[in-house]
Structure 1
C-alpha cells in the first residue's frame, strides 16, 4: 500500500493511500554524501532486526468468521520493484494471523489472512486467498488500495495472451453462478470511474456483454469482459458476496509475478469494500482494515467490516480530492526526527520537493494529531540476503511530472491501518502484526 501526497493551497502535505502494490511505487537505494570529510556511523544490522514476537494492540475483542488456511504462496515482479529478501524469523502460524485479526477490531468483522508474497510469487505485493464461483475455486490475489476493479485471469486464454500464474485459470463454464454484465448495466458504465475503460461500441446493444480494459501506470494491462459471480471470503457460509462484479481477463500482460488476479479496495462502487457493504443482507459495512507483515513468513490480515478499532489507533480525517476520486487522502502537517519537528520550508512541499525526496524518516504527524512513528524497518531495507550487510533508504522520487510523493508499504508494515469510511477518517495502530 502506498500513501501518495499532493500539496494543498495551505502548503500542507496531503497524502493519499493508494495501492498496496502501487502503480507509482519505485524502490531504489539512496546514498547522500556531504562535502568535506565523511562522517560514518556504523550500526550492526543484527541489532536492528524486527522482534520475532508481536505485541498486539490492547483492549480488543473477537471477530466473526473463520479464516481459510492460506496455501503456500506460490514464483517472478508486479507494479512495484521486487524487493530484497526479508530478515529471517520464526514463521508465524495461521493462529498468529487469526490472533492478529482479532486484535485489529471487534464487532462484525470478517477477516482474511494476508501474506507478503516476495519470492514465493515473484512479486513484492501482499496477497490473500479468495474463492470464486459455485462451487468455489480458490485463488491467490493481490491487494490493491489504488484501484477499484477486481479481476482474475480466465479461460479461454492462450499462453501468449495470459501471463503464467501458479494456479489453473478460472473457467467460467464450471461455475453455476457466473454471468456476464451487459453493456447497458450500471456496473459497465461505472468501469470508467474505476481506473478502467469500457469498450462497448456505439453499435453495441444494451444486452451485449461489457468488454473492458484496465491499464496501470507501469504498463501492465488487463483486457476482458465484466462479469458477476459469487465471491467467497472465508469458510463461513455467511462470508460470501453473491453477484460480485469483477473482470474476467482474457488478454493480460505485465508485472504480476504468478498471482492469480487482483482485489481492488479503492473508494468507488466496484471495489471489494464497496460491494461488500452494499450486498443484500450485508453485515460488512463500508469500513475495512489491514496489517502488512514485515516478513514474508509473517501473518498479516485484511478485515472487512465496521467493528471497533484497536485501542492504540490514532485517527486523522480523510480529505476529499476530486482529481483522484478512487484514492484515500489524509493531511500531513509535520515530520519529527528524534522528537523534534523538522523545519522544512513550505516551498519544499512543492514540486520538486528535493528535501523530501532524499528520504526523511522518523515520525509523521497528521492533521488532528495522529502520528506514525517509523522504526528501522520503516526507514531502511536490507539488501542481498537473509543476513544483509547493506541497508538502503526506502525513499525515492516520484518524478517531476507527478504532484505527489509516496510513503510506501515499507513505512506501514506492522501497523494496523484502519479505513473508517463511515466516519471519513483513517487510523494507525502500532504493532498490529509481526
Structure 2
C-alpha cells in the first residue's frame, strides 16, 4: 500500500515517535532518475559526510533549517548581502522539488548562467522555470557548475540533474527559481539534493552532506 513516511521534526514523524529505536538519526540519497536506486537508512549515518549545524525556527518547528552561506557558479562566488539567506532562513526540504532562492540571489545566478549559455538558443519558459534552452543538435553542452556552501565550509557541488531539468523534448531549463521577494524562506529542494548522502543527526543537531551517495 502506498503512503507517506514522515521524517520531519513534528510529533507525527516516525523519527519523533521512534527516537529511541532509531537514535534520532537517519540518512538518505535521492537518485538522479526515478529508475535508479537510492536509499533511506533509519538509525544509521552515512559515512564520508561533512556536517553543518542543524538550526531551529520556533515558528516552523517541524522543518530542518541550516545556514546557506554562499553560492558559486562556474567558480564565481555570487556577491550578496551576508544576511540574504539567514534573515528569512533556509530549509532542506525533500518534499519540494525545485530550490527557491531570494530573487536578488536568483537574478544574479541567472545572469551568469545566461551569459555562459548564450551560445545556445533559448526556448520558451515552462511553469515557473524562466531560463530554458533548445539543445537539439548539440552533441556537447557546457556542463553547469553550481555549488551551495553551508556553514562550516560544507560544499555541495550540484549534480547536472540538480541544475538542469529536461522539461520537454526541446526544453532544457535551469532547475532553480526565485521567490517572490527576499523575505520568503529559502528552500533547498529535492532536485538539488540528488546523489548526495544526506544525514539528519537530530541528537547532535547537525546535517551532513557527502558526494556520490547513489547513482
Q: What TM-score do the two structures reach when normalised by structure 2?
A: 0.69
- C-alpha distance in 1 between matches for 2:191 and 2:58: 27
Residues 398 and 406, structure 1, Cα contact 8 Å, conserved in 2: no
Which shows bigger deviation, 359-368 or 407-416?
A: 359-368
Aligned to 1:18: none
Runs of 4+ aligned residues of structure 1 deviating over 6 Å after TM superposition are none
Measured on the aligned residues, the alpha-carbon RMSD in Å equals 2.4
Q: How does 1:73-84 map to 2 (within 5 A)?
A: none
SS of the counterpart of 2:65?
strand
Aligned-pair distance for 1:422? Answer: 1.1
In structure 1, the gaps of 5 or more residues are 1-138, 142-261
Aligned-pair distance for 1:396? Answer: 1.9
From 78, 94, 105, the counterpart of 1:356: 105
Aligned to 1:326: 62
- C-alpha distance in 2 between matches for 1:419 and 1:338: 29
From 147, 154, 174, the counterpart of 1:393: 174
- C-alpha distance in 1 between matches for 2:199 and 2:67: 16
Aligned to 2:31: 293
In structure 2, the gaps of 5 or more residues are 89-100, 110-144
SS of the counterpart of 2:69?
strand
1:263 aligns with 2:5: yes
Q: How does 1:209-220 map to 2 (within 5 A)?
A: none
Deviations along 1:349-389, one digit per CA (max 9) or x if unpaired, are 568942323473711111111111113211110122xxx44
SS of the counterpart of 1:274?
helix
Aligned to 1:380: 164
Aligned to 1:182: none
Deviations along 1:29-68, one digit per CA (max 9) or x if unpaired, are xxxxxxxxxxxxxxxxxxxxxxxxxxxxxxxxxxxxxxxx
From 202, 206, 211, the counterpart of 1:425: 206
Residues 195 and 213, structure 2, Cα contact 8 Å, conserved in 1: yes
SS of the counterpart of 2:28?
strand
- C-alpha distance in 2 between matches for 1:430 and 1:380: 18
Aligned-pair distance for 1:302? Answer: 1.3
Residues 359 and 395, structure 1, Cα contact 8 Å, conserved in 2: no
Aligned to 2:2: 140
Q: How does 1:12-411 map to 2 (within 5 A)?
A: 139-141=1-3, 262-278=4-20, 282=21, 284-305=22-43, 307-311=44-48, 313-346=49-82, 349=85, 353-358=102-107, 360=109, 362-384=146-168, 388-400=169-181, 403-411=184-192
- C-alpha distance in 1 between matches for 2:163 and 2:83: 24
* Bigger radius of gyration: 1
